[in-house]
Structure 1
Amino acid sequence: MLAWRSVQASSRDGDQLGRLPSTIVAHEQVRRSDLSSHVVKYGGSKLTWQGGRTMKGLSPRVGAVLLSALIPMFCSIGSSIAQSLTLVDKGTSKYCVFHRVDAPSSVKTAAMELQRILKASTGVELPVTADPSPNMICLGDNAVARAAGFDPDSLPYEAFRIATRGRNLYIFGRDAPDGQKTPWNGFSRGTQFGVYEFLERVVGVRWLMPGEWGEEIPQHVTLTVPEVDVKQQPGFLFRVLGISDPPVVKEWLTRQRVSGDPSYWNTACTKVIYTQHSWGWYLPEDLKNAHPEWNAIKGEKNKFCTRNAEAVRALAEGVVNWFDKHPNPPGDRWMASISPSDGQSFCRCEQCSAHIEKDAHGVDSFTVNLLDFYNEVARVVAEKRPGKMVAGYAYGRCEYPPKNPMRLEQNVFIEWTPLNYYGMGLYKPGYRQEFEKVASAWAGMTKNLGYQNYCHWHRSEQGAPYAAALSLLKFQFPLLKKHGFQSVQEYGTSAWGYGGPNNYLLARLMWNPATDVDKTYREWLQLAYGPAWQAMDRVYRLLDERYQKFKVEKEPFPYTGDNYEIMSDKIESIYLPILPTIEKLYVEAYSGAETDRQRKRVQMFGDNMVIFHRNLRKADYLLHPEQSVFYRTDGDYEAFIKQDIPNVYGGNSGPGWLWVEPQIKGIQPPPQTEKRALVIPLLPKERHAPVIDGTLSPGEWNGAAVADSFRIAGSRAVAVRSTTARMLYNQNHLYLSFECDADDLKQTLPTRAKQDNAAIFDGEAVEVVFGLEGDPQNFWHIALNPANSRWDGIRANAIPNLDWTGATKQGARQWTAEIAIPFVSLGIDAPRGTRWRVNLCRSTPLNKDGERELSAWNNVPSGFLDPDYFGVWIFENQEAGGA
């Protein structure tokens, strides 16, 4: 446990602040010491005015006269020579807290919090007054501060300065007056931020999580401020931590100097960046239906052709009208989002197709089309509503910059939202290696650049805990700052029982991207759990290690929506093997905590585990669940989940924000693992091999092994769309055929693509994954679609190629495929008597709206590329008879 002690001035070194437990390496202009971080409370103890001496009781004219007479005296007493100040000495103080009577409400809030915290820490309540004093903490912009040589208006928005002068301490910043915002619809609470910085670094306060039990206030008998003069400003102008935010969480967010989600509810930051999926706002369904020529060719219903000048003009006019409905001032819009509606299927008309590129992974990129669209809308807005900005995502199929840099209009803001990195995707070496290169390329095209990601988030609706990804936090934020990103939006964890460290670190890094992550993480644990911190550290590190291993070794490299879902594959690979260890460490931590606060914070983690354990039990993942400390009967569980949240957690905010993410999906029962097996016949020498023409000619597949009853991914239920595969081999080749039933191929529009273009996975496709003896993670992966487009590689890497033949034939409600793979291309002889690990898979669109059915011969929990779910082929050693 950290030992807190009073800060004493030193004749040898005036900078004593660095000796305190520190979470942030300051990124400001420092003269004497190293201050850094934190914020605000709306409310607190009652503001106490010094009786009979406040400006409140005087007329403005008399007050001004008295103040002008007193200022020179106070400034001479508080000379320009800085020195250490003893604010409280053994239970007494000569100091007051001073600010103007008409100071902004943010300054008054800061004064109340300063008064409250100092009283809780020292037992002394400093009076808050509108009268300056020979010994004072002077807050905000006022005549006293200016007479001492300080100019708050010279600071950037949100910046603050903390300085000692003579007997006085000055804390001031750039403060927006009540009812006013910055030119970018933001807030500036510089003085308030400075006060919380002071409380954290000098008093040692920490707000580890929301509510009273998230607050740590060390005790001081004597409180001394070393001489200091420091300035600080945020690392990013817009900082959003997306979590469920009832009032008690909003309070915590503001103390951390970040805003909550959604972005237009900003309460803390200079500049509001406004991006959402928004095409439907400006092109409503009835307008689109009246113009079918605007529709995206081979794209989703919520898309349109961005090369159709009439459609683009109509959307731009919709943006102009939107601005008119949200004037600024007095409204709250200086920027409009023009981001595409969600989904990754864009127009493929002749004009759009001419500008489709390949991204770094061989996937179709629509970035050029989208950026041209952004520019077109921006020019209309610049002409009709000068000074307004438009903002758009660079997301999904548009997340990679164009091969040739493009000029963007000055009123375009790009929000880089890399879908591939969602759900801790940056653990995958390929994505991590490209991160800075991609960030730099976007920064080379525009200074109007923000970053939004769900990298540090999983959809854990049922209590499954995950840890802060420390290595990714250390890697990500400094690079964003280095390349000039103006804004950062990351999504945290609404379940505070396990999400506290993750949320805290994200908030700290948004304010200061140079934060010492390891030091801050350890301090959080030590303060939160006391002597139990090491046991909880082992829990978090164990979870992080398992996640990293899963992401690198098990999860397919290409992005899928399952990347941030906690489903059966993660439950079986990450959680089930370590549940006994987590339970043992939890019991150790609960026993080791010393104070009620520490035990309650450990218990909050256990509360999450109670929920997780119950849902695992209901899904039949657990043997002997009643033996666990996390076990509750159904009746006890219902009472547990409905209990009121204590006031120390924030009162009646509802249990959802405290323990679990919003309940969206239940945990699915584990698929019953199966190992289907087939014997692959060897063709007699006199028998002709199948002709690879896509037509399953009568007789040529007689005697073949048959794989049918493909299972829907995540279950053993048979797929709605029937698939039948047949296999044979001879001395030179492996032969496969597929018969695939489909409702209407014309409706699902098979994609015609070049070799190794991942676009073939967007539509109908069959896939064969097979591994020879040796490394189970090293296996071939080939795919074919009805348009005879092909893909092959090792796992998800398209660079290795096989010399194989494929052909397809399309009917109205069925398509067929034939494949021949020469053994020489695999570097082997005919595999007589050997065993291969194999799966046969199919992806089937169910409609134009993107709904898909994934099915496999050997059942899989979600994706096709997990070798733990491959079946077995045994190659016959004797020739099969002809028929």
Structure 2
Amino acid sequence: MHFSPPFPLAALCLVTFAIAGCHAGSNSAPLTAAPANPPSASPAPSLRLVEAGRAAAVIVLPEKPMASVRYAADELAAHVAKSTGATLMIVSESAVTDDADVRIYLGDTRAARAVGIEAAQLPLETFRLLQRGNALFVAGRDGTGDPLDRDTSAGTLFGVYEWLERAVGVRWLWPGELGTFVPQHATLTAAPIDVTIQPRFFQRYVRPGLGWKSNNPALGFTAKAAEEYARVQTVFLRRQRMGRSERIAYGHAFTDWWSKYGREHPEWFQLVNGKRGPTTENARYAMCVSNPGLHAEIVAHWRAAGGATRPGMSLINVVENDILGQCECPQCRAWDGPTPADVNKYYAPNFKVYGAPFVSDRYARFTLAVQQLAARENPNAVAVQYAYFNYFQAPTSGVKLNENVLIGFCPSAGWYPRLDDEHAWYKAQWQGWRDTGARLFFRPNYFLDGYSMPFIFAHQFADDFQHHARNGMVATDFDALTGQWSIQGPNLYLLMRLHVTPDADPDAILAEYYAGFGAAAPQVKAYYDYWERYTMDNRKLTMDVFYDRVAIRWRTWAKVPHRIFPAAAFAPADALLAKAAAAVAHDPECSARVAFLQTGLQHAKLCCAVATKLTLSDPASTAEGGREALRELLAFRRAHEREWFANLNHNAWVEDLSWKLAHETQQPAEYYP
């Protein structure tokens, strides 16, 4: 017996979305999905939910709806009201009268069961949309818990979001009211439908990035703004169907094992220069992954936590500590495969993996050994490991794994934008791991990149994501949102939408985004196309600057933005946004969205101006020399922070590590003069 994943590997969703752009005022459903259930012999006619601005339908809930179903009703009613001006009443099933108009049944109602929808029998997070007679049914597998919690199965809520996209043309472009694109409809109809939809990936996770802390808090959000930003972003992520149907836990598994077991079992730990354990006191250490005693102890921990009797996926975390694999013992070396000829080709010489031993095969064999040992007690045992550091590249020895080995593909280099051959190489590493027979989840740090700059790599990222989705990707874990919603919109919109529609044309997805700017859509597209060309054309410059300035892509970007984006680069972008603003001068909502982009662009320029004066990469920088530029930046942030154009706490974290700052910025943001 083998573990059966929550979604069949050959067809991870019952229905795959195929979403195209929507336009304000359109009453058509721009996306289609193949029916998972046989259509009725005589399809029902379209239902009128709102007619000439008057409600012609009611939303019907079970007598005791779960919190997520009640929330789904509120979301449906609010979006329909924003589109049509009509308020759909929300009633319980027992309150429905015979003369009621069209009914929209949400959740596990008696009426849903009467037409054959057994919501409780659906897989987690799955939903069915069905029109029958004068009723539209939106019913999914729902669980108890907070509707916004990623561990709450919210099938009905996801069904509401799917229907709003199809029938109303709603798109959520970025967090907050301004980012909610709702086309206007005087009359709103529901077309005949019968589909069952299950998320493609059993975990869809973009880490929210709400925990950034800085020693200079004045650079970030005020406390109340941070709280509100967290709320609107959480709502936004749920609207993008972030969640999971399996509660998998992983991460560096052995960080405290030396203190617990080092004295009694030093043989479980790395052997380096003839010594077991950390090379210096309190240093990080790797494990001796070939040691059978280590394998047995890992399984003993799993057994003690109930793993041997756990139904479904019984996960064993064997993710190595956050350090290179470096055990030099003969047994670990015997498990290694041949070193690839290009092992260092795509690593910078100052990168810690450059020149390190190639140890992917030993980690593949380690993970398999633990999984097979645990499988003697529970055939559903699943061992999770990262492909990381000097065990990131695909194994070369022909080692074969199985679907109960789950590999988190975690590149520690390969930042976008990549050179073409480099991009192909990284995809080949994924394919190599997939060819072992393991299942894979995408666990990159790539969206930590870019700081507050117009750093657009949308199409290259989409190519990566879709390659992985076509080749065995079963889950995601992106670390993490930096919240640069205004300046990096296409990157982030594709990141969200590809989780829902992984097979869609990236340009069709981006057309959804640009449609939110109304008549300015062509100019906004040209604006972001300009920045994407600029980013791609300056790949070598970006790599050289970070190497030369000893800056780190995910944490000290603020040392170097002015070197990659000099003042002259911003002039064409300003002109394009000015044209966009003129195109929607008489459209308040679209005008506000263009202004949102202008806010992000101005913020980027201000950040560059401060970096020029305060960068730690320039010994001549002084806090006094950058005081005026910094004051202007902070005043701008206070004036615009509640527009949610960026996660300012992330900006502050990066700047804290990149700039020479005076003591004033250590004050709470509320009190900075």
Taking structure 2 as the reference length, what is the TM-score of the superposition? 0.75
Q: 2 CA distance for matches of 1:31 and 1:209? A: 37
Is 1:304 the counterpart of 2:251? The answer is no
Q: Give the conservation status (yes or no) of the 8 Å contact 1:379–1:409.
A: no
Answer whether contact 2:46 2:191 (CA < 8 A) is retained.
yes
* Equivalent pair of 1:378/1:409 in contact (CA under 8 Å): no
Secondary structure, aligned partner of 2:407: strand
Which of 70, 74, 92 is the aligned partner of 1:112?
74
Question: Distance between the aligned counterparts of 2:490 and 2:148, measured in 1?
Answer: 32
1:450 aligned residue (441, 448, 463): 441
Q: Which residue of 2 aligns with 1:365?
A: 358
Matches within 5 A, 1:132-171: 132=96, 135-153=102-120, 155-171=122-138
Alpha-carbon distance in 2 for matches of 1:388, 1:130? 43
Find 1:277's aligned residue among 232, 252, 275: 252
Given residue 17 of structure 1, which amino acid in structure 2 is its aligned partner? A
Out of 604, 614, 623, which is 1:609 matched to?
Answer: 604
Distance 1:291 1:197 in 2: 54
Indicate the larger mover: 529-538 or 392-401. Answer: 529-538
Residue from 89, 93, 97 that aligns with 2:55: 93
Which digits, 9 at most, give the CA deviation of each residue in 1:299-345, with x for residues without a partner? 86421322333444444444555x3699979xx99534321111225
AA matched with 1:303 = A
Q: Does 1:618 align with 2:613?
A: yes
Select which of 417, 423, 427 maps to 2:410. 417
Aligned ranges 1:769-788 → 2 under 5 Å:
none
Residue 580 (str. 1) matches residue 571 (str. 2): yes
What is the CA–CA distance in structure 2 between the aligned matches of 1:309 and 1:512, rounded to whole Å? 43
Q: Point out the more displaced range, 436-445 or 191-200.
A: 436-445
User: C-alpha distance in 1, partners of 2:426/2:629?
Assistant: 47
Structure number having the greater helix percentage: 2
Shift of 1:359: 3.1
Match of 2:453 among 448, 459, 464: 464
Count residues with an aligned counterpart.
Answer: 578
Q: Deviations over 1:831-866 (max 9, x none)?
A: xxxxxxxxxxxxxxxxxxxxxxxxxxxxxxxxxxxx
* SS of residue in 2 equivalent to 1:453: coil
| Counterpart Cα distance in 2 of 1:91 and 1:179 | 33
Equivalent-residue separation in structure 2 for 1:585 and 1:513 (angstroms): 30
For 1:396, which of 382, 389, 398 is the aligned residue? 389
Name the CA distance, whole Å, in 2 between partners of 1:634 and 1:241: 31
1:250 corresponding residue in structure 2: 234
Deviation of 1:96 after TM superposition, in Å, equals 0.9
| Structure 1: gaps spanning 5 or more residues | 8-15, 33-77, 259-267, 623-630, 670-883
Q: Does 1:499 align with 2:499?
A: no
3-state SS, counterpart of residue 252 of structure 2 = coil
Q: Which residue of 2 aligns with 1:778?
A: none
Deviation (angstroms), 1:605:
1.2
Q: Which whole-Å deviations, capped at 9, do the CAs of 1:550-590 have from their partners, x for residues lacking one?
A: 3357737x999845563767743454551333344444445
One of 149, 155, 172 as aligned partner of 1:207: 172
Which has a greater percent of strand? 1
Q: Helix, strand or coil for the counterpart of 2:206?
A: strand
1:479 alignment partner in structure 2: 467
Residues 404-455 of structure 1, C-alpha deviation per residue, up to 9 Å, x if partnerless? Answer: 332436643211223343x215x22223223454333322333532121234
CA gap 1:178/1:526 in 2 versus in 1, 3 angstroms: closer
State whether residues 270 and 328 of structure 2, in contact with CA within 8 Å, keep that contact through their aligned partners in structure 1. no
Is 1:218 the counterpart of 2:183? The answer is: yes
1:84–1:367 Cα change, 3 Å: same
> What is aligned with 1:688?
none
Shift of 1:137: 0.6
Separation in 1 of the partners of 2:296 and 2:106?
51
Which 10-residue stretch deviates more, 299-308 or 565-574?
565-574
5 Å matches for 1:425-574?
427-458=418-449, 460=451, 463-467=452-456, 469-490=457-478, 491-527=480-516, 529-551=517-539, 555=543, 562=552, 566=557, 571-574=562-565
Report the alpha carbon displacement of residue 100 of structure 1 after superposing the two structures with TM. Answer: 0.7
Structure 1 residues 96 and 181, CA gap change in structure 2 (3 angstroms): closer
1:376 to 346, 369, 377: 369
Task: Give the deviation of 1:471 after TM superposition.
Answer: 2.4
The answer to whether the 8 A contact 2:482-2:647 is kept is: no
Contact kept, 8 Å, 1:473 with 1:517, in 2: the verdict is: no
Query: Partner residue of 2:220?
Result: none
* 8 A Cα contact 1:470 1:518, kept in partner: no
The 2-side partners of 1:149 and 1:295 are apart by: 59
The residue that corresponds to 1:743 in the other structure is: none
Looking at structure 2, the residues matched to 192 and 518 of structure 1 have their Cα atoms a distance apart, in angstroms, of: 27
8 Å contact from structure 1 (residues 335, 391) kept in 2 = yes
Secondary structure of 2:201 counterpart: coil
Counterpart of 1:614, as a letter, is A
Give the conservation status (yes or no) of the 8 Å contact 1:89–1:221.
yes
Checking the alignment, whether the CA contact within 8 Å between 2:402 and 2:438 is kept in structure 1 is no
Q: CA deviation at 1:79?
A: 11
AA aligned opposite 1:352: C
Letter paired with 1:434: W
- For 1:472 and 1:547, locate their aligned partners in 2 and report how far apart those are by CA, in whole Å: 11
Counterparts of 1:405 and 1:524, CA distance in 2: 44
Is residue 335 of structure 1 aligned with residue 302 of structure 2?
A: no
Q: Which runs of 5 or more residues in structure 2 are unaligned?
A: 1-20, 211-229, 345-356, 619-626, 662-673
2:141 alignment partner in structure 1: 174
The answer on whether the counterparts of 2:527 and 2:573 sit within 8 Å (CA) in structure 1 is yes
AA at the equivalent of 1:157:
L
Quick one: which of 257, 261, 265 aligns to 1:287?
261
Q: Name the residue aligned to 2:398.
A: 405
Question: Distance between the aligned counterparts of 1:592 and 1:667, measured in 2?
Answer: 39
After superposition, what is the alpha-carbon deviation per residue over 1:51-93, rounded to whole angstroms, capped at 9, x for unaligned? xxxxxxxxxxxxxxxxxxxxxxxxxxx9974111111111323
Q: Relative contact order (C-alpha < 8 Å, sep 6+): which is higher?
A: 2
d(CA) in 2 for partners of 1:605, 1:110: 32
- Counterpart Cα distance in 2 of 1:311 and 1:229: 52
Please say if 1:17 is aligned against 2:13. no
Equivalence for 2:18: none
Change (3 A) 1:334 1:108: farther
Match of 1:5 in 2: 25
Cα separation, partners in 2 of 1:342 and 1:611, compared to 1, 3 Å = farther
Q: Contact 2:50–2:188 (CA<8 Å) still a contact in 1?
A: yes
Q: Find the aligned partners of 1:384 and 1:342 in 2 and give their Cα distance.
A: 29
Answer whether contact 1:450 1:488 (CA < 8 A) is retained: yes
Structure 2 SS opposite 1:171: strand
Name the structure 2 match of 1:639: 635
1:477-514 Cα offsets, whole Å, 9 max, x none, are: 33222222211223444222213332221111112211
- The 1:533–1:84 alpha-carbon spacing in structure 2 relative to 1, beyond 3 Å, is closer
Would the alpha carbon gap of residues 180 and 373 (structure 1) be closer, same or farther in structure 2, given more than 3 Å must change? farther
Letter in 2 for 1:465: P
Alpha-carbon separation, structure 1, partners of 2:341 and 2:447: 23
**CA distance, structure 1, for counterparts of residue 87 and residue 560 of structure 2:** 56
Structure 2 counterparts to residues 685-696 of structure 1, below 5 A: none
Distance 1:90 1:579, change over 3 A: closer
**TM-superposed deviation, 1:473:** 3.5
Instruction: Give SS of 1:242's match.
Output: coil
